[in-house]
Amino acid sequence: MEPPPPSLQIFLTLLVMLGGSIAMFALLVRRWTSRRQWLSLADWARQRRIKLRAKDLSQMPPPLTELERVGARLRLQLSDERMLILQFDTDDRESAKRTGETPESIEATPTRPRWNVLVRKLAGGRSNPAVALRPANLPSGGSVIDLFRLTAFHSLSNNRFAVLAIDAKAAVHLANSSARALLPADIGMLMMDQYLVLDFSTRPFDPVEMDRMISVAEQVCAAC
Protein backbone atom coordinates (compact mmCIF):
# COMPACT_ATOMS: atom_id res chain seq x y z
CA MET A 1 0.00 0.00 0.00
CA GLU A 2 1.48 3.32 -1.06
CA PRO A 3 1.72 6.19 1.48
CA PRO A 4 -0.59 9.15 0.80
CA PRO A 5 0.96 12.07 -1.08
CA PRO A 6 2.13 15.11 0.95
CA SER A 7 -0.77 17.32 1.94
CA LEU A 8 -0.53 20.96 0.91
CA GLN A 9 -2.95 21.85 3.71
CA ILE A 10 -0.66 20.35 6.37
CA PHE A 11 2.33 22.18 4.91
CA LEU A 12 0.47 25.52 4.94
CA THR A 13 -0.70 24.91 8.52
CA LEU A 14 2.87 24.28 9.67
CA LEU A 15 4.02 27.39 7.82
CA VAL A 16 1.36 29.52 9.54
CA MET A 17 2.34 28.10 12.94
CA LEU A 18 6.00 28.88 12.27
CA GLY A 19 5.13 32.43 11.23
CA GLY A 20 3.03 32.92 14.35
CA SER A 21 5.83 31.64 16.58
CA ILE A 22 8.34 34.01 14.98
CA ALA A 23 5.94 36.96 15.36
CA MET A 24 5.31 36.15 19.03
CA PHE A 25 9.04 35.81 19.71
CA ALA A 26 9.72 39.17 18.04
CA LEU A 27 6.92 40.79 20.07
CA LEU A 28 8.29 39.45 23.36
CA VAL A 29 11.85 40.53 22.49
CA ARG A 30 10.60 44.03 21.69
CA ARG A 31 8.54 44.12 24.88
CA TRP A 32 11.52 43.31 27.11
CA THR A 33 14.14 45.36 25.26
CA SER A 34 13.18 48.53 23.39
CA ARG A 35 9.84 49.01 25.21
CA ARG A 36 10.88 47.76 28.62
CA GLN A 37 11.03 51.26 30.15
CA TRP A 38 7.65 52.22 28.71
CA LEU A 39 5.99 49.06 30.04
CA SER A 40 7.47 49.46 33.52
CA LEU A 41 6.27 53.08 33.61
CA ALA A 42 2.82 52.07 32.39
CA ASP A 43 2.52 49.38 35.08
CA TRP A 44 3.70 51.78 37.79
CA ALA A 45 1.32 54.52 36.63
CA ARG A 46 -1.62 52.12 36.57
CA GLN A 47 -0.90 50.93 40.12
CA ARG A 48 -0.74 54.50 41.39
CA ARG A 49 -3.65 55.72 39.24
CA ILE A 50 -1.39 58.21 37.52
CA LYS A 51 -1.93 59.30 33.93
CA LEU A 52 0.96 58.53 31.55
CA ARG A 53 1.28 60.51 28.33
CA ALA A 54 3.84 60.45 25.54
CA LYS A 55 1.81 62.13 22.78
CA ASP A 56 0.22 65.53 22.25
CA LEU A 57 2.59 67.18 24.74
CA SER A 58 2.57 70.59 23.14
CA GLN A 59 3.84 72.93 25.86
CA MET A 60 5.70 72.96 29.15
CA PRO A 61 3.59 73.21 32.32
CA PRO A 62 4.18 75.88 34.97
CA PRO A 63 6.62 76.74 36.42
CA LEU A 64 8.74 75.41 33.54
CA THR A 65 7.13 77.44 30.78
CA GLU A 66 10.08 79.83 30.62
CA LEU A 67 12.29 76.95 29.49
CA GLU A 68 10.59 77.11 26.10
CA ARG A 69 13.11 79.87 25.34
CA VAL A 70 15.80 77.16 25.30
CA GLY A 71 13.75 74.87 23.09
CA ALA A 72 12.28 72.65 25.82
CA ARG A 73 10.25 69.74 24.42
CA LEU A 74 8.28 67.28 26.52
CA ARG A 75 8.96 63.59 25.93
CA LEU A 76 6.99 61.90 28.72
CA GLN A 77 4.55 63.13 31.36
CA LEU A 78 3.04 61.36 34.36
CA SER A 79 0.48 63.31 36.34
CA ASP A 80 -2.19 63.26 39.00
CA GLU A 81 -4.01 66.02 40.85
CA ARG A 82 -0.97 66.89 43.03
CA MET A 83 2.13 66.40 40.93
CA LEU A 84 3.78 66.03 37.54
CA ILE A 85 6.78 63.87 36.67
CA LEU A 86 8.34 64.97 33.41
CA GLN A 87 11.08 64.01 31.03
CA PHE A 88 12.02 66.68 28.51
CA ASP A 89 14.96 67.84 26.46
CA THR A 90 16.35 71.27 25.61
CA ASP A 91 18.84 72.88 23.28
CA ASP A 92 22.47 72.29 24.12
CA ARG A 93 24.12 74.92 26.29
CA GLU A 94 25.64 76.85 23.40
CA SER A 95 22.34 76.99 21.51
CA ALA A 96 20.60 78.20 24.66
CA LYS A 97 22.81 81.29 24.63
CA ARG A 98 21.58 82.31 21.20
CA THR A 99 18.22 83.86 20.39
CA GLY A 100 16.03 83.57 17.35
CA GLU A 101 16.37 79.80 16.98
CA THR A 102 13.95 78.37 14.44
CA PRO A 103 12.23 75.00 14.79
CA GLU A 104 14.42 73.69 11.95
CA SER A 105 17.63 74.61 13.76
CA ILE A 106 16.33 73.02 16.96
CA GLU A 107 15.70 69.74 15.15
CA ALA A 108 19.18 69.90 13.65
CA THR A 109 20.88 70.16 17.05
CA PRO A 110 23.06 67.04 17.30
CA THR A 111 22.76 66.61 21.07
CA ARG A 112 19.93 67.76 23.27
CA PRO A 113 20.34 67.38 27.05
CA ARG A 114 17.58 65.30 28.64
CA TRP A 115 16.08 66.26 32.00
CA ASN A 116 14.01 64.41 34.61
CA VAL A 117 11.96 66.49 37.05
CA LEU A 118 9.15 66.18 39.56
CA VAL A 119 6.82 69.17 39.94
CA ARG A 120 4.55 69.45 42.96
CA LYS A 121 2.21 72.23 43.98
CA LEU A 122 2.94 73.64 47.42
CA ALA A 123 0.33 73.33 50.13
CA GLY A 124 -1.69 76.37 51.10
CA GLY A 125 -1.29 78.02 47.71
CA ARG A 126 1.57 80.18 48.95
CA SER A 127 3.72 81.85 46.31
CA ASN A 128 7.52 82.01 46.50
CA PRO A 129 10.15 84.04 44.69
CA ALA A 130 12.43 81.75 42.70
CA VAL A 131 15.02 80.09 44.94
CA ALA A 132 17.04 76.93 44.39
CA LEU A 133 19.53 74.43 45.76
CA ARG A 134 21.93 73.26 43.07
CA PRO A 135 24.15 70.19 43.63
CA ALA A 136 27.70 71.51 44.01
CA ASN A 137 29.27 68.39 42.52
CA LEU A 138 27.62 68.77 39.10
CA PRO A 139 29.50 70.45 36.24
CA SER A 140 28.30 73.69 34.71
CA GLY A 141 25.18 73.01 32.67
CA GLY A 142 24.60 69.73 34.48
CA SER A 143 21.43 70.79 36.31
CA VAL A 144 18.03 72.07 35.21
CA ILE A 145 18.58 74.92 37.65
CA ASP A 146 21.30 76.26 35.34
CA LEU A 147 18.58 77.04 32.78
CA PHE A 148 16.89 79.54 35.10
CA ARG A 149 18.12 83.10 35.55
CA LEU A 150 19.13 83.00 39.20
CA THR A 151 21.93 84.62 41.18
CA ALA A 152 24.33 82.50 43.24
CA PHE A 153 24.73 83.42 46.92
CA HIS A 154 28.19 82.03 47.67
CA SER A 155 28.18 83.04 51.33
CA LEU A 156 25.10 80.86 51.91
CA SER A 157 26.35 77.86 49.90
CA ASN A 158 28.26 74.84 51.19
CA ASN A 159 30.17 71.91 49.73
CA ARG A 160 26.93 70.01 48.96
CA PHE A 161 24.63 72.67 47.54
CA ALA A 162 24.87 76.12 46.02
CA VAL A 163 22.08 78.51 47.00
CA LEU A 164 20.61 80.51 44.11
CA ALA A 165 17.75 82.99 44.11
CA ILE A 166 16.45 86.25 42.72
CA ASP A 167 15.95 87.67 46.20
CA ALA A 168 18.42 87.72 49.12
CA LYS A 169 15.69 87.29 51.72
CA ALA A 170 14.40 84.14 50.02
CA ALA A 171 17.96 82.80 49.74
CA VAL A 172 18.57 83.27 53.48
CA HIS A 173 15.25 81.63 54.33
CA LEU A 174 16.09 78.58 52.22
CA ALA A 175 19.62 78.34 53.61
CA ASN A 176 18.22 78.33 57.16
CA SER A 177 15.65 75.64 56.40
CA SER A 178 16.22 71.89 56.68
CA ALA A 179 15.83 71.37 52.93
CA ARG A 180 19.55 70.85 52.38
CA ALA A 181 19.63 68.09 54.97
CA LEU A 182 16.70 66.31 53.32
CA LEU A 183 17.97 66.40 49.74
CA PRO A 184 20.31 63.75 48.34
CA ALA A 185 23.53 65.40 47.13
CA ASP A 186 22.77 64.81 43.43
CA ILE A 187 19.20 66.16 43.47
CA GLY A 188 18.48 69.79 42.64
CA MET A 189 15.56 71.73 44.10
CA LEU A 190 13.72 74.80 42.82
CA MET A 191 10.87 76.63 44.55
CA MET A 192 9.11 79.07 42.28
CA ASP A 193 5.68 80.67 42.50
CA GLN A 194 3.44 77.95 43.98
CA TYR A 195 5.58 74.99 42.93
CA LEU A 196 8.37 72.74 44.11
CA VAL A 197 10.60 71.23 41.41
CA LEU A 198 13.02 68.37 42.04
CA ASP A 199 15.66 67.71 39.39
CA PHE A 200 16.72 64.05 39.30
CA SER A 201 18.31 64.13 35.85
CA THR A 202 21.40 62.30 37.14
CA ARG A 203 19.21 59.28 37.91
CA PRO A 204 17.22 56.87 35.74
CA PHE A 205 13.69 57.81 34.71
CA ASP A 206 12.15 54.71 36.25
CA PRO A 207 9.57 53.74 38.92
CA VAL A 208 12.18 53.17 41.65
CA GLU A 209 13.54 56.71 41.38
CA MET A 210 10.07 58.19 41.00
CA ASP A 211 8.97 56.62 44.28
CA ARG A 212 12.07 58.07 45.91
CA MET A 213 11.43 61.54 44.50
CA ILE A 214 7.81 61.49 45.66
CA SER A 215 9.01 60.69 49.18
CA VAL A 216 11.67 63.43 49.08
CA ALA A 217 9.13 65.96 47.78
CA GLU A 218 6.76 65.21 50.65
CA GLN A 219 9.53 65.72 53.20
CA VAL A 220 10.77 68.96 51.61
CA CYS A 221 7.25 70.38 51.35
CA ALA A 222 6.71 69.66 55.04
CA ALA A 223 10.02 71.32 55.96
CA CYS A 224 9.61 74.42 53.83
Spatial neighbors of 185 by CB under 8 A, at least 6 apart, are 135, 137, 160, 161
- Domain parsing of the chain, residue ranges: 50-223
pLDDT band at 222, cuts 50/70/90?
confident
- Tell me, what's the pLDDT at 60? 92
- Tell me, what's the pLDDT at 111? 79
**What is the SS3 assignment for 30?**
helix
pLDDT band at 7, cuts 50/70/90?
low
- Tell me, what's the pLDDT at 101? 43
- Tell me, what's the pLDDT at 46? 94
Exposure string of 128-151, with b = 16+ CB inside 10 Å and e = fewer, is bebbbbbbeebeeebbbbbbbebe
Q: What does the pLDDT average to over 41-48?
A: 93
Higher pLDDT, 52 or 24: 52
Q: What order do you get walking across the sheet with 73-79 strand by strand?
A: 51-53, 73-79, 83-89, 114-121, 195-199, 188-193, 128-135, 161-165, 151-152
pLDDT band at 132, cuts 50/70/90?
very high
- Tell me, what's the pLDDT at 9? 72
Is 191 a residue whose pLDDT tops 80?
A: yes
pLDDT digits (tens, 9 = 90+) for 93-128: 544 444 444 333 334 345 789 999 999 998 876 788
Alpha-carbon span 224 to 128, nearest angstrom: 11
Q: Tell which residue, 178, 181, 187, has the closest CA to residue 209.
A: 187
pLDDT band at 32, cuts 50/70/90?
low
**What is the SS3 assignment for 190?**
strand
Residue 71 CB neighbour total at 10 angstroms: 20
Q: What is the pTM of this model?
A: 0.78
- Tell me, what's the pLDDT at 104? 39
User: Can you name the residues that pair with 76 across neighbouring β-strands?
Assistant: 87
- Tell me, what's the pLDDT at 125? 67
Mean pLDDT of the chain: 84
pLDDT band at 59, cuts 50/70/90?
confident
Percent of the chain beyond pLDDT 70? 79
pLDDT digits (tens, 9 = 90+) for 139-176: 999 999 999 999 999 999 999 999 999 999 999 999 99
